[in-house]
Amino acid sequence: MTQIEMSNFSKDAAFLFILARIDQYKGEKEFFDNKYKRNFYEVEQEAHAVKGKEDFQLEEDLEDWEFAIKSLEYWTKEYQKLRNNAAVA
C-alpha cells in the first residue's frame, strides 16, 4: 500500500469505528427513552426527588443511560472533527 492509500484506509477505519460507537450509544439511549417513556433528565429528577426509598435497578439504569447520552455526544463531536479535518485535507 502506498502512503496515500494507507492514509485513506486509516481515515475510513476511523470513520467506521466512530460510526459504530455512535450507533451503539444511540441504540442504548433509545432503549432507555422507550423503557421510561420520558427523557433522562425527567426520570433522574423524579428518582432523586423521592427520599428514603432506593430503587437500585432505576439507579443502575440512570447510570447506563447517562453514560450512553454522554458517549453519544462525545462520539458525535469526534465524528464532526474527523469530517472537518477530512474536508480540509
What would the pLDDT profile of 27-73 be if each residue is shown by its tens digit?
Answer: 999 999 999 999 999 999 999 887 788 899 999 999 999 999 999 99
Kindly state the cell numbers that stand for 52.
428514603
**How far are the Cα atoms of 56, 69, 88 from residue 5, in angstroms, in the given order?**
51, 35, 17
pLDDT at 81: 93
Q: How far apart are CA 61 and CA 68, in angstroms?
A: 10
B/e letters for 10-19, b = 16+ CB within 10 Å, e = fewer, are eeeeeeeebe
Question: Is there a contact between 15 and 81 (Cβ–Cβ < 8 Å)?
Answer: no
pLDDT at 38: 96
pLDDT at 7: 73
pLDDT at 5: 57
pLDDT band at 4 (very low <50, low <70, confident <90, very high): low
Kindly state the cell numbers that stand for 44.
433522574
Question: Is there a contact between 62 and 40 (Cβ–Cβ < 8 Å)?
Answer: yes
